[in-house]
Amino acid sequence: MERLSLQQMDADWSKLIDLESRTVSPRVFVDPAIYEIEQERIFNRCWLFVGCESQVPNPGDFFTNSMGEEPVIVTRAEDGKIHVFINSCRHRGSRVCRIEHGNARSFTCPYHGWTYDLRGKLTGVPRLREAYYGDLDRDQWGLLEAPKVESYCGLIFACLDSGAQSFESYLGNA
């Protein structure tokens, strides 16, 4: 199947769904270009359901999930606040948390041992002085966090786009 560019796809949407015959082109399900567009325009911009508050009832509780292709860790910090972090170490990008759920006080990356607390702050770097000559500002290297997180009736939603509309407005009359 011929692969179309994103620009070509934009011009081609109307051909994908035939309202009269009520058919959908198989391209919708298999074309990597459409998949790419979905990731960019839907999963990276929309509010997504990531889990339930009941999965993290206590401080330190966490579970892993994904937002589109982005792996995330959902934690409840000591102050009760729920965070959604990108599950990728700020050092070399290794997956920080590799289990599905549990209770922890911190997360230590299995690759070189960088440690993050429940608020995503970088708290531990092995051989900090020798490796970085005291020049690593740990405050700058915490886990990246979904900029928008809301809980609605016990359901946790997050959005990776800091410029996205509020969750309330996104829901509309739903």
- Rule CB under 6 A: is residue 45 a binding residue for ligand FES? no
User: What is the per-residue binding string for ligand FES in 113-152, x denoting contact by CB under 6 A?
Assistant: xx--------------------------------------
Among 91, 101, 121, 138, binds ligand FES (CB under 6 A): 91
- Rule CB under 6 A: is residue 89 a binding residue for ligand FES? yes
CB-nearer residue toward ligand FES: 31 or 70: 70
Rounded-to-integer distance, Cα 168 and Cα 152, Å: 9
CB-nearer residue toward ligand FES: 50 or 89: 89
Residue range at the interface with ligand FES (CB under 6 A); choices 60-68, 69-77, 111-119, 141-149: 111-119
Three-state SS letters, the chain: CCCCCHHHHHHHHHHHEECCCCEECCHHHHCHHHHHHHHHHHHCCCCEEEEEHHHCCCCCEEEEEEECCEEEEEEECCCCCEEEEECCCCCCCCCCCCCCEEECCEEECCCCCCEEECCCCEEECCCHHHHHCCCCCHHHCCCCECCEEEEECCEEEEECCCCCCCHHHHHCCC
CB-nearer residue toward ligand FES: 55 or 94: 94
Residue range at the interface with ligand FES (CB under 6 A); choices 39-47, 106-114, 116-124, 136-144: 106-114
CB-nearer residue toward ligand FES: 59 or 71: 71
CB-nearer residue toward ligand FES: 3 or 105: 105
C-alpha distances in Å from residue 114, one per residue of 55, 82, 95? 26, 22, 11
* Binding residues vs ligand FES (CB under 6 A): 89, 91-92, 94, 109, 111-114
